[in-house]
Structure formats: C-alpha cells, structure tokens
Structure 1
Amino acid sequence: MPHSTPATNRTGTTAATAHERTTATAGRPGRLVIGTLLAASTLTIMAAAVISPSLPALGPALGSGSDDGVLVRLALTITSLGIALTAVVVGSASDRLGPVPVLLGSLALYAVAGVAGAFAPSLAVLLVTRVLLGIGVGGVMTSISTLITREFDGEERRRYIGLQQTFASLGGVVFLPLAGWLSTIAWNAPFWIYAAAAAVLPFAAVAFRSRQRPAPSATPPRPGSGAPMPQRAVHQVLGILVVAGVGTLVFFMAPTQLPFLLADRGASATLIGIVVAASTASSAVAAALFPQVRRHLDQVGVTAVSLVLLGLGWVVVGMTSFTAVLFIGVLVGGLGVGLVVPTLNLWIVDLVPAERRGRALGGLVSAIFLGQFLSPLVLAPLVSRIGVADAFAVSGALTVVVVLLGLGAHRLRRPISMTPRP
C-alpha cells in the first residue's frame, strides 16, 4: 500500500488534529480517564480466547460428541463473527451518539453475555451468548480507539495507541493462564473472567461524566467535512483492512490450533494457557516499543517487519518437536502482531477525518475479528490434510513470501522511509 502522510502545518500538527484540539474539552485527561481506557483495553483482544484452554473439554461437556471438531472451535471464534458483523454499525453509532454511551453500554453487554456462557445448557445456547459477547467486545474496542484519538494528539496519541495494544495484550497474559487454571476446575469456570467488565463499568461512568461532548452530528460541520474522501485514501483504507484480516487469520492459529497440537503431545491445560498467553506477552512488549519503532520506519515498513516476524515465528512452531523451541516461535509471532495493530490503527486515523473515524475504526475491528472467525474454517482443510504442525509451517512460510513480494513491488514505486517520523 502506498505511504501517505497528511498535510501538516509548521508545528507538524495535522489540520484534522488542529481542529480536534480546538474542540477538546478543557483540561488534559486525568489519571482516571487514562486508567479506565487502559483497563478496558485489557478486555478486548483476549475476549474470544479466554475459553481456549477449555476447548478440548467443551465438546464432551455439552454433548457434541466431539472434542476436537470445527464446531467446538466455533464456540471460540463465533464471538469474533459477532464483532465482525456489528463493529461498523457500532462505530457509526459512536460517530452519531459519541463514544462514551457506546462504551458504557458495551461494557454492560460484555459482562452479562460473557458470564451467561457459564450457564449454557447446550452448545447452541452457548453460541448465542458468544455472539452477544462479540457485540459488546466490538463496542468496547471501537469506542476506546475513538476516545484515544479524541483525547490525545501527536506523539501522545501514538504513545497511547501503542499502550492500548500493550494493555490488550497484557489482558491475555493475565487472563489466559488464569483461564487455563480455572479450566482444570470446571470447563465453564473461565467464563467468570468476563465479569471484569462489570468492575470497569462504574469507573468509566465516573471518568467520562465530566468529559461528555455533544455527538458529532449535533455540532456545526466544519468546512469541507461533508466532502467524500479521496479515492486514493479509500483504497488505502480498504488495503489496510485486508492486511488486518489476513494477518489476524494467520495469528489466530495460536488459540485455535495450538491447544490441540500441545494436547496431542501430552501438555496440561495450564501449560496450554501459558503457551497461548506467550504470544500476547510478546505482543505487549512490541506494542510498548511501537512509538520508538515508528520513528524510524514508515507505516509500510513497520507492517512488513511485523508480518515477517509473524510468519517466521509460525515456521518455527511448525518445524520443531520441542516445546521450548515452539515457545520461542510463539514469542516471535506475537512480536509481529504487537507492532502491526497500532500501526494500522494510526494509519487509518491519519487517512480518515475525525467525524468518520468511529465507522472507519469499527471497520478495522471488523477486519481483525473476521480474520479470527475465519481462521479455523479456512485452515481446517489444510489441518486435516497435513496436520496442525505442518499447517503452522506452511502458513508462516506463505506469509513471509507474500510480504516480501509485496514489499518488493512497493519499493519499485516508492522506497520505505527510514527517517524519523514527525
């Protein structure tokens, strides 16, 4: 995708950012606002994967007759489908109503629908609760991204977008091993982790009470705000969504395929949770380093490096029979995801005017979670034919090859910038 940087004034501030600053509420975001945004971020990426350690026991517990079938995996990924189908709608609601009401409502839905899965009497009922959970997750994730771009600009925005991904990954580091331990008690015990959203909800209500703003539709439009986006920008956004979806499809082999690979090798549920969480741990580290990396590489460069790391990590996972080496491959793959998500997020923010960001960021959330949902479905024929380990190796190698070919084609048009970013 071609590199694009918005026009800046003499201080390096984009026109859109300058407009946002003039409409900002008085005062900088306080600790409660920042803490609430980061705490809510921990509930997003890990949401579907919380039940990953329970997958081998889920089928027998609900009478499906299989503990490793595609339908059992769907109990995890159908949450991602719920997010993918509704995040753009939720983002549009955020543009019209403002992100704060969307955040509060989504946290409430998240808690209720998530915990309800613990009481599901059948796989069918469980799938319904998981779809509703997905709607809540999409609302939380989209509204957090919108609020960060509203509350911060410039270097601070870059920092907090990186921190958003860091804390989203840390949610996996904390909750996935906990889920693995809880799954040794009962298959449905990990569902109680979703009650964490109920703990965040009152803090969010208090934190943003004094920072409410009129919905964008209620404010006078600025000149040119109703003009359509340039066709080139639209194409770039669509390209970003494709990269996000395909990259997530490959990465989500960690929670959907690794449990079965490790279980076949005699690993315990607790160890499975730790290994899957390792990918989010390294993702958190990479996201924390994102602002520094972004100063030296443009969007295309960071995206290419990220996806190559993901591919190489999966090649290692697929080619080793040693759990310790497999663990290293999982860490390398997680590093790539930790860099690519904030990169694509900020790329969209640069391309899309403020009054349309909720919908655009909702589109990014939809692409990410559509990739999660499709991952076991797309890879099922490959896994059944060559096995889980070889599927990791083949998927990783294809990822690296496609990225290198795309990077070569891009550099023929425009070299990657290695100069510090403004």
Structure 2
Amino acid sequence: MRDTKKIQISLLLIATLGVMSGITVVSSLPLIAHTFSDIEHIEFLSKLMLTIPSMIIALFAPFAGHIVDKFGRLKPLYGGIILFIIGGSSGFYLHDFYVILIGRALLGLAVALIMTSSTALIGDYFSEEARHRFMSKQGMAVALGGIFFISLGGLLAQLHWSYPFAIYLIPLLFFPLLLTSLYEPKKYTQINEDLDVETKLFPVYLTAFFVMVLFYMLPTQLPYLIVNILGGKPQTVGFVIATAMTFNALTSMQYAKIKAKFSYIQIYMATFVLFSLGVFIVSQANSIADLFFATAPLGMAFGLLLVNTNAWFLSQVPPHKRGKASGMLTSSFFLGQFSSPLLFEPIVLAYGIQGLFFIVSLVALCVAVFLFVKGYK
C-alpha cells in the first residue's frame, strides 16, 4: 500500500526546487559584481547568473523528456537533484566567478531533469480530479517556497555574497524521504491513435511560452521601476514580490474548486483580466504604496496561470508521451522566461518601463476578450 501523503509531500518539496533555482541568489548579484569588479563587463556577466540556467533549461528540457521516457521517471529525477545540489551550491565553496557560471549551467541541466520527470510523475500518480486537488497544493507550495527563498536569500546576502548559494544544499535534508516514498510507475506502450498528439499539444506549448513572456516582466522590470523611478530601496522589491506571492498562494489553494466550476479557457480569461488590471495599476503608479494595490490581482493571476497550464497540459497528453511532452512544456516555460527581457527591451527604450506595463495591460485585455469570444461561440 503506497503512502499517498508521503508521495504528495515529496512532490511538493520537489516543486519548490524550480522556484529556488531562479530567485535564491537575486540579492547577491550586486555584491557579486562588486566582489569581482576586476573582471571586464562584470555588470553584464553577473546577470548571467540568472539567465544561464533558464537558457540551459529551455535548450535541454526536450532531451530530458526523451531521457525520462527511455529510462523511467526516478533515475533522471534523482540524478537531477544531485546535479542541483552540486551545481547550485558551487558559489558557496568555489569563489572563482567562471567556475560558478559553470555551476549555474549544471543547475539548468538539473532543473530540466527535475521538472520534466516530476511533471510526468504527477500525471502517472493521480487521476484528473485528484490531480486538480494536488495542483492546488503544488501552486501554494511554489508560492510559499518563493517567499521563503527570496527572504532567506536576502538575509544571507547581507552576511556574505556567497551564503545564499548554501540554500541549494537544502534538498540533502529531504532526499531520504524521496527515496523511501516515490516509486517508478509502470511503462506505457504507444497507441497508434495518439499520433497527432504533438499537434494537439502545440497550443499548450505556445500558451506556456506566451504567458511566461508576459508574466516574467514582473521580476525583470519591476525592480528597476521601484528603485530607479519610484525611489524605493532594494529590499522593497522583495517585499512587493513577497506580497504578490502571498495572494498567489491563497489563489492556488482554491484551484480545484475553481476548476470544478469553470473550463480551462474560462480560467485563462479571468487570469488575463486580473493580470491586465494589475499591470495597468503598475503603469499608473506614482509611489511605492500604489504598487501594493497591484499585488492582489497580479498574485491571483499568477496563482492561476501555472496551475491551469500544467493541469490543461496533463489532461491532453497520453501516458506514454508524458516524459517527452513534459520536457517540451518545461522548455516552453523557460524559453518564455529567457525571451521576456529581450523582447521587452525595445519597448522600454521607446516608452519607458511604465509605458511597457500600460501596453502589456492592453495586450492582456485583448487576449481576455479573444478567449471570451472563443469560449462562448
């Protein structure tokens, strides 16, 4: 008899690794740039600490999907966690800048394996209704993990720039739980009638890319708005993001109840209305206090976004394709994350950061109207 509670706890802990990979060392970046100031172009190179993992994940995740389908779910998962610990924590004990960058690349490989195999496991372990209930918990865990890791990273960075890298050692604490609770699902054979599965999943991949391009503007653009335009302090950035993630967690908890009443398209429609409202408030903000009015709609929108996309994806993909398809979904998410600052930079240069937020609010509202028309033909 499988211990369902231990399985769920294990998968929730694994889910927090994705958010840990991205935001843990954000507070250290200015300190890293200062420490290695003798390196030419260090301001740019220090930002690669964040972008290299996303780029590697986007490129490697499709291959990770093939590995997961060929070798099973658990071997790639455990291998990914070991790489996560080694690559992620490298900055804690190796103080060579370029070696740390290599560690960040290893971290990208690790997250690609972890996210691909864990997404496939969720599809294997749970029926659709149970999956929606679990994903409510998963969304909450990711949001709370984000609040915890960005806060802990900020506190440790005040002591020394290298200390936040020690956070990547945390999986050592729960690795024994994973080994004793997770099991390898049975292998599924291919069914001929599912030959058009890639065509069916393309809208999911495109949606994952598009929404991440839009939503990732928050962590990439908001800090500059707060510090350079509204005169806030760096710690204010973390406080604003943490407030939004609190609403994220509260909304994610309700996903199963929401999905029982509304379709995937209707949930996306509500998501883009909330997002449009949130970024519009940001575009009109004249003070830090004004931004906090945007945290509720933005947090609620983000709380629905990832959960709804993963749930929609798993409802469409057949069991024998879960590994490969999960890799493509992971790649789509992180390709959108990597592309977001590149795509938005020309708009920022032309119209300013708040001009970008205003334009995106109009785009999001148009998407909501399109989904309304599509959903009620």
TM-score (norm 1): 0.82
Kept in 1, the 8 Å contact 2:23–2:149? The answer is no
Structure 1 residues 377 and 59: CA distance shift in structure 2, 3 A: farther
1:397 aligns with 2:369: no
Structure-1 residue corresponding to 2:224: 260
1:240 aligns with 2:240: no
Structure-1 residue corresponding to 2:348: 383
- Return the match for 1:328 from 270, 290, 293: 293
Structure-2 residue corresponding to 1:311: 276
Write the distance in 2 (CA, Å) between the matches of 1:40 and 1:373. 22
1:123-162 paired onto structure 2 within 5 Å: 124-162=98-136
Return the letter of the residue paired with 1:257: Q
Structure-2 residue corresponding to 1:198: 172
Partner-residue secondary structure (3-state), 2:300 = helix
TM-score (norm 2): 0.91
Return the letter of the residue paired with 2:205: L
Q: What's the CA shift for 1:293?
A: 0.9
- Return the match for 2:241 from 254, 276, 286: 276
Partner-residue secondary structure (3-state), 1:43 = helix
Write the distance in 2 (CA, Å) between the matches of 1:66 and 1:313. 35
Partner-residue secondary structure (3-state), 2:19 = coil
Write the distance in 2 (CA, Å) between the matches of 1:391 and 1:79. 26
Structure-2 residue corresponding to 1:112: 86
Write the distance in 2 (CA, Å) between the matches of 1:331 and 1:130. 32
Write the distance in 2 (CA, Å) between the matches of 1:213 and 1:234. 23
Structure 1 residues 118 and 108: CA distance shift in structure 2, 3 A: same
88-97 vs 349-358, which moves further: 88-97
1:365-376 paired onto structure 2 within 5 Å: 365-376=330-341
- Return the match for 2:184 from 203, 212, 217: 212
- Return the match for 1:338 from 278, 303, 326: 303
Write the distance in 2 (CA, Å) between the matches of 1:382 and 1:406. 25
Write the distance in 2 (CA, Å) between the matches of 1:55 and 1:396. 29
| Percentage of matched positions with identical amino acids | 28
Structure 1 residues 383 and 125: CA distance shift in structure 2, 3 A: farther
Return the letter of the residue paired with 1:259: P
Which digits, 9 at most, give the CA deviation of each residue in 1:199-247, with x for residues without a partner?
Answer: 2222211222xx3345x2xx6x3xxx3315364x533411111111111
Which digits, 9 at most, give the CA deviation of each residue in 1:342-389, with x for residues without a partner?
Answer: 222122222221011111122111111111111122122222333323
Structure 1: gaps of 5 or more residues: 1-26, 416-422
Partner-residue secondary structure (3-state), 1:47 = helix
Kept in 1, the 8 Å contact 2:23–2:150? The answer is yes
Structure-2 residue corresponding to 1:4: none
Structure 1 residues 186 and 377: CA distance shift in structure 2, 3 A: farther
Structure 1 residues 301 and 404: CA distance shift in structure 2, 3 A: same
Write the distance in 1 (CA, Å) between the matches of 2:20 and 2:295. 16
Kept in 2, the 8 Å contact 1:312–1:397? The answer is no
Partner-residue secondary structure (3-state), 2:280 = helix
Structure 1 residues 101 and 129: CA distance shift in structure 2, 3 A: same
1:251 aligns with 2:215: yes
Structure 1 residues 190 and 162: CA distance shift in structure 2, 3 A: same
Write the distance in 1 (CA, Å) between the matches of 2:355 and 2:94. 35
Q: What's the CA shift for 1:248?
A: 1.0
Q: What's the CA shift for 1:254?
A: 2.2
Structure 1 residues 186 and 237: CA distance shift in structure 2, 3 A: same
Structure 1 residues 288 and 367: CA distance shift in structure 2, 3 A: same
